[in-house]
Amino acid sequence: MMMSTSMAVSSSPRCGASTTRTANSRASSRRRTTTTSSSSRRALAIIGKKSTWRRTERRVKAFDFVKAKAEGGVDYVQTADLYDGSKQTQLYSGLGGQALNAKEKEFPTIAQVLAKIPKECFERSTAKSLMYAGISTAITLSVGLVAWATLPFTAYYLPAWIAYAYVAGTAATGCWVAAHECGHGAFSDNRTIQDTVGYILHSLLLVPYFSWQRSHAVHHSKTNHVSEGETHVPAQMGSDEANLMFGLRNTIGKTLCSALNLIGVLLFGWPLYLLMGASGGPVRGKTNHFIPKMGASGKHALFPGKWENKVWYSDVGVALTIGMVAYWAMQTSFATVFGLYVAPYLFTNFWLVLYTWLQHTDVDVPHFEGDDWNLVKGAFMTIDRPYGKVYDFLHHRIGSTHVAHHINHTIPHYNAVKATEAIKQNWPDLYLFDPTPIAQATWRVGSECVAIVRKGDEYVFSNEPLPKL
């Protein structure tokens, strides 16, 4: 996440500066660092942001910031003096750079896109939506009943329990996606039915339904925005988060660091987002989906106005589920509850984080800010991927038709394939589909998408730290 630090900087609104100003900045930098220690002079450039201003701190290492600051080693100069993002080595994926240089492409208006999508794609059927939600629920419960009836709670059967957890958690992800459609208004024309189904399904999966509905709406409204986006907003080069990753890579090696990053994000990413706003929009600060007052206030508040009360309503559903699970454990055993509920729940979390991460993150998919960003551009920077027929069926095509979902989130999943084909046919140069196998794409994202750096009118991913001064 982007750091916000208090500093004074002389800069133009875009990082570029005149030759005279650059020279003055460098001269000023030399004067200010004459009293610093040798370690302070080995500082790295740390890039922050306020509006379109670029702010830079010089540091030794992420871990030595306090020491450097105490010694007078914190300095403020223009980004352009320290790091030229235009020279950043570009990484490529299965997209082959298709999404880069987006400013040079002609993006349609949202009205133009919607006009090309067949009208029947926007038709919602309550019966059909209930059928798909029922199928996901039935598969999940059936697998659980079979495991409960046939698998003893012994160490010898641990592989079988792990297999069960994967199958049940994967099936339960379909329930999560059905509730996701409820939150978007894609489930039914009947709002009562829609919110009831969404509330029950999400609460059973420990998701605060209305809280998530609001934060996810913000995610859709600011997709691929570097500061106002929500969920999986990438760290900016020079932030503490980016420096920590680079420092860890230097210490334990890139491979191990990437593996730990993947495990951390896929296992803990979802609860950390709900509780602390991890990977959420920097302008909103540390938010909490159960406590509406946390985070920024005013126009950047995550839960303004009526949404505050809706957060509390959401808490009730999650609390009731926790109460039922606790009662279940008291009547049976912790092992029973862990095996049948908690373990599958972890796999469900894995899937929903994986989908969101891969749909919006790739080495050659840029991010934007200010006038360089707009709603349609953000939507088209979403990526469809090949999850295969089984996962597409179980998860209602959430990962293979996500571009259409971001073009208009009220399109039901059973109409999303037709909508996707219309988008692909009319804007083949804008529609993004990466054929890279999911496992390979996941490793690439986890190992290469460390932080973004400005390159022209875009922010692109870099897997290299800022150069030493």
Q: What is the pLDDT of residues 272-287, one digit of tens each?
A: 999 999 999 899 999 9
Query: Position of tokens 């989906």?
Result: 289
- Per DSSP bridges, beta strands 451-455 and 458-462 are antiparallel
Q: How many Å apart are CA 216 and CA 225, to the nearest integer? A: 14
**In the chain, what are the domain boundaries?**
19-82, 102-462
- Phi and psi angles of residue 48, each rounded to the nearest 5 degrees, phi first: -115, -170
Sign of CA pseudo-dihedral 195, 196, 197, 199: positive
Buried b (16+ CB within 10 A) or exposed e, 357-370: bbbbbbbbbbbbbe
- Per DSSP bridges, beta strands 44-50 and 53-59 are antiparallel
- Residue 464 has what pLDDT? 82
Give the chain's residues under pLDDT 50. Answer: 1-82, 469
Residues 6+ apart with CB under 8 A from 116: 422, 423, 426
Contact between residue 179 and residue 211 where contact means Cβ atoms under 8 Å apart: no
Query: Position of tokens 């199928």?
Result: 135
Q: Which helix (H) or strand (E) holds 454?
A: strand 451-455
Q: What is the pLDDT of residues 190-213, one digit of tens each?
A: 999 999 999 999 999 999 999 999
Contact between residue 396 and residue 171 where contact means Cβ atoms under 8 Å apart: no
